[in-house]
Amino acid sequence: MSAAANDNQTLLLRFDNVEAERAPGVVWEVYAGLPPGKEPDPEGPYFLGTMSLFSAGIRTDMKHNYKPAEFSFEMDRAVSAALRTNADKLEITIVPSGILIDGKRTQPKVAAPARIGSVSIAIENRRKR
């Protein structure tokens, strides 16, 4: 947790070997430390970023240089927000993203589930500018 407060380091969440049998047809929003009962909000402090499998990670493309997808998200802001709420654990939440209609999120239809081969957390030194 100290890495989230360190100006010389950043905390990263990594998803490796992410794949689906065919194009999932959705984008997933990734959150860390989202409090129970709180609606996912891409403008909120718990939002890490999005995952999409539009080229890498689609297994039907195996004959065309198939490669699993990899994603990396900076977690500093979400960890800091979770610490302010005295959270004793930091759950990762992945939500299929839908468009807004009349200000309300729609639930997209997932055409194929994605599989995440491994999840890891790393501390990376920031480059001095």
Q: Would you say residue 128 lies in a domain?
A: no
Q: Would you say residue 42 lies in a domain?
A: yes
pTM of the model: 0.81
Per-residue model confidence (pLDDT) at position 87: 73
* pLDDT of residue 100 exceeding 80: no
**Residue span of the structural domain in which 46 resides:** 2-123
Q: Would you say residue 82 lies in a domain?
A: yes
Query: What's the chain look like in SS3?
Result: CHHHHCCCEEEEEEEEEEEECCCCCCEEEEEECCCCCCCCCCCCCCEEEEEECCECEEHHHCCCCCCCEEEEEECHHHHHHHHHCCCCCCCEEEEEECCEECCEECCCCCCCCEEEEEEEEEEEECCCC
Q: Would you say residue 63 lies in a domain?
A: yes
Q: Would you say residue 129 lies in a domain?
A: no
Per-residue pLDDT band for 118 (boundaries 50, 70, 90) equals very high
2-61 pLDDT tens trace: 555 567 788 999 999 998 888 888 888 999 999 888 888 999 999 999 988 766 667 665
Number of structural domains (the chain) is 1
